[in-house]
Structures are given as structure tokens and as C-alpha cells.
Amino acid sequence: MGTIEMRQKLHDYIEAAEDRKIEAIYTMVEDEIEEAYNHWEDEEFVEELVKEEEAYLSGVAKTYSFEEVNTLVDETIKKAGKNNSAQR
């Protein structure tokens, strides 16, 4: 069973589990939940976001519209398809 399937089964189980079972599961993973990485406490991460925001707002950053992204994705898929056909 893959991770995605396990995650879904756990999610389904937790949704329907009795309160005492939820409390037991939470107790087992509580420390890990509390220690989860908080991006907003990472100064380097926040500094990078601020720099990217400033570049975007000033017009320095290269950005793409939704339509441009879709076109680039379509072109990449077409190229990948041609490359796979040529290799066969």
C-alpha cells in the first residue's frame, strides 16, 4: 500500500473514530505535531519571501499569466511526447 492510500485510510478512520481513539492517536503523535516546522519562524524563509514580493511589486520579477503558464505546459507536454516517440 502506498503513502497516498495510507494517508486516505487514516483520514477516513479518524473522521469516524470514537473520541477515545482520537485522543489515543493524538497522544502518540502530539510531540511531532507540536514540533512541526513553522515557516514563519524561519528568518531566512521570511526574508526570501519579502525579497520576492519586492521584486514582484517593483516589476523586476518575471511573472506569467495563467494563459502563459498553460501555453508553456502544453508546449512542454507536446515536446515530451515527441521525444518519447523518437526514442521508441
| pLDDT for res 30 | 87
- Taking the domains of the chain in order of start, what are their residue ranges? 3-34, 39-87
Q: Which residues contact 33 (CB under 8 A, 6 or more apart)?
A: 26
- Supply the pTM of this predicted model: 0.42
Distance CA 80, CA 19 (A): 50
Distance CA 29, CA 46 (A): 28
Spell out the per-residue pLDDT of the chain, length 88, in tens. Answer: 899 999 999 999 999 999 999 999 999 998 888 777 788 889 999 999 999 999 999 999 999 999 999 999 999 999 988 776 666 5
Distance CA 41, CA 12 (A): 32
